[in-house]
Amino acid sequence: MPYRELGSTGIKVSRLCFGTLTMGPLQRGLDLARGAGLIRSALEMGVNFIDTAEIYGCYPYIREALKGYTGEVIITSKSYAYDREGMERSLRGCLEALKRDYVDIFLLHEQESAHTIKGHWDAVEFLVHAREQGLVRAIGISTHFVAGVRAAASVPEFDVIHPIINKYGIGIQDGGVEDMLEAISFAAMMGKGVYGMKCLGGGHLIPRLDEAMDFILSVSELAAVAVGMQSPAEIKYNVDKFSGREPDATLAEQLKQKARSLHIEEWCRGCGQCVQRCTAGALEIAGGKARVNSGLCRLCGYCASVCPEFCIKVF
């Protein structure tokens, strides 16, 4: 497994980052032992980088996976908190849940532009203070916007940027692939550590698995790429691919057949909270129920976090 330094942070990460979203309660909902076992398996194969977020509900998996593990592990978490008090609660909640004295990277979740970052500056100032105290090692943002990457690249206080990027630009909110690649290049030039997300377009590119992976591995400015993994087979394929080994052809074909979709149960009462939560504009209320536009859906499952009837899942 190759490792790279994340910008100017001094933090060395595996090129493959274990994305925990897909195993957690917003998506697959694996039981604790199984989820923790997957993370531990990846760690033992050389993956030292784990990506999570407060909204994912995955802290218990990580904490369990790290019990008795003596190798170095780099953890990123994220929060939607926009002021000092909220960000402090999020960070301290993360540290308590993981039973750690510090977290390596803490990001403002889903920032859109310079305007958004400015509006959340109280939260940024708290993270700067937390970094000075040793509670975090690096700070920054995650974003689905080209404008978000460009804005964060020019913020001296930020160390890390976590943008969406895939071969066909699925999920990029304000431009195309070339726009995002240019922004990523600019961020790297500015000394920021950049690691990508949604290289499979939230699952839409699974049928083009090898093509999507070859593309993302060709983006030299990315220190790492977070990939959601729900099974030993996915871990095996990704570890081989990111390590420069040719994955087993039969295994690759099996994984390509695994289609994913957002499922809304019949008991949906059309309250509209999921529509308000969806930043991709993929949901609407029609006929008294939520309906998804699969062409716009990023399959993130964030809408499930606000559903009062628990009727939304990603399968």
What tens digit of pLDDT does each residue of 108-145 get? 999 999 999 999 999 999 999 999 999 999 999 999 99
Residue 121, phi then psi, degrees to nearest 5: -65, -30
Q: What pLDDT score does 75 carry?
A: 98
Task: Cite the DSSP H helix spans in 108-225.
Answer: 114-119, 121-133, 146-153, 177-189, 209-217
pTM for this entry: 0.91
Q: What is the CA radius of gyration of the chain?
A: 18
Q: State how far the Cα of 296 lies from the Cα of 202, in Å rounded to an integer.
A: 11
Give the SS3 label for residue 15.
Answer: coil
- Rounded to 5 degrees, what are φ and ψ at 18? -80, 110
Instruction: Return the pLDDT at 292.
Output: 94
Residue-level pLDDT at 263: 86
Tokens matching residue 236: 């095996």
Can you list the pairs that 36-41 forms with residues at least 24 positions away whose Cβ atoms lie under 8 Å?
36/60, 36/61, 36/62, 36/64, 36/65, 37/65, 38/229, 38/230, 38/231, 38/232, 38/235, 39/65, 40/65, 40/69, 41/232, 41/235
Rounded alpha-carbon distances, angstroms, from residue 260 to 27, 57, 78, 202, 315: 10, 20, 24, 9, 5
Q: Can you give the pLDDT at residue 267?
A: 87
CA angle, 306 then 34 then 302, to 5°: 15
φ/ψ (deg, to 5) at 313? -145, 155
Tell me the C-alpha distance between 165 and 216, whole Å.
8
Can you list the domains of the chain with their CATH numbers? 3-256 (3.20.20.100), 262-314 (3.30.70.20)
pLDDT, tens digit (0-9, with 9 covering 90-100), for 215-266: 999 999 999 999 999 999 999 999 999 999 999 988 888 888 877 888 898 8
Q: How far apart are CA 292 and CA 275, in angstroms?
A: 9
| Helix intervals (H) in 154-306 | 177-189, 209-217, 232-242, 249-256, 273-277
Q: Which residues of the chain have pLDDT under 70?
A: none
Measure Cα distances from 120 to 58, 97, 105, 191 in Å.
25, 24, 18, 22
Residue type, 104: D
